[in-house]
A = this chain, B = another copy of it.
Amino acid sequence: MAYEYDRAIAVQRRAEGEYDVDLDAGWIVGGGLNGGYLLAVIGNGIRAELDRAGHPDPYTISAYYLSPSRPGPGIVRVRVLRGGRGSSTVTATLSQVQDGAEVERISTLATYGDLARMSGDVRTIAKPPVLPPVEECLLTSDASPEMKRFVPMLDRFAMRLDPACGAWTAGEPSGNNFLQGWFALVDGRPIDPVALLTVVDTLPPTTFEMGMPGWAPTLELTAHVRCTPAPGLLRIRHETRNFAGGFFEEDCEVWDSADRLVAQSRQLALAPRPLESAGSGE
Chain B residue nearest in CB terms to A246: B118
Whether B89 and A224, one on each chain, are in contact in the complex, defined by CB atoms closer than 8 angstroms, is: no
Kindly state whether residue A226 has any CB partner on chain B within 8 Å: yes
Interface of chain A residues 214 through 247 with chain B (CB within 8 A):
219-220, 222, 224, 226-227, 241-247
Whether B64 and A282, one on each chain, are in contact in the complex, defined by CB atoms closer than 8 angstroms, is: no
Interface of chain A residues 61 through 100 with chain B (CB within 8 A):
62, 64, 66-67, 81-82, 84-87, 89, 91
Instruction: Say how far A227's CB is from chain B's closest CB, in angstroms.
Output: 5
Chain B residue nearest in CB terms to A244: B122
Kindly state whether residue A52 has any CB partner on chain B within 8 Å: no
Interface residue from B59, B119, B249 paired with A224 (Cβ < 8 Å): B249
Chain A 252-269 interface 0/1 with B at a Cβ cutoff of 8 Å (1 = within) = 000000001100101010
Kindly state whether residue A16 has any CB partner on chain B within 8 Å: no
Chain B residue nearest in CB terms to A84: B282
Interface residue from B59, B62, B118, B244 paired with A109 (Cβ < 8 Å): B62
Kindly state whether residue A133 has any CB partner on chain B within 8 Å: no
Contacts of A268 in B (CB 8 A): 59-60, 224
Contacts of A222 in B (CB 8 A): 62, 220, 222, 266
Chain B residue nearest in CB terms to A222: B222
Q: A86-B282, A247-B118 are contacts. A111–B60 as well, Cβ < 8 Å?
A: no
Whether B220 and A247, one on each chain, are in contact in the complex, defined by CB atoms closer than 8 angstroms, is: no
Q: At the interface with chain B, which of A29-37, A39-47, A123-131, A197-205?
A: A123-131
Whether A246 and B120, one on each chain, are in contact in the complex, defined by CB atoms closer than 8 angstroms, is: yes
Q: A62-B109, A243-B124 are contacts. A86–B210 as well, Cβ < 8 Å?
A: no
Kindly state whether residue A135 has any CB partner on chain B within 8 Å: no
Kindly state whether residue A276 has any CB partner on chain B within 8 Å: no
Cα distance A91–B104 in the bound complex, in angstroms: 13
What are 30 residue pairs bridging A and B, where the CB atoms are less than 8 Å apart in the complex? A59-B247, A60-B219, A62-B64, A62-B220, A62-B222, A64-B81, A64-B109, A64-B110, A64-B111, A86-B282, A87-B219, A107-B109, A109-B109, A117-B280, A118-B246, A118-B280, A119-B280, A120-B245, A120-B271, A123-B210, A125-B177, A126-B241, A220-B224, A222-B266, A226-B244, A226-B245, A227-B245, A241-B261, A244-B261, A266-B266
Instruction: State the A residues within 8 Å of B (CB).
Output: 59-60, 62, 64, 66-67, 81-82, 84-87, 89, 91, 104, 107-111, 113-115, 117-126, 177, 210, 219-220, 222, 224, 226-227, 241-247, 249, 260-261, 264, 266, 268, 271, 279-282
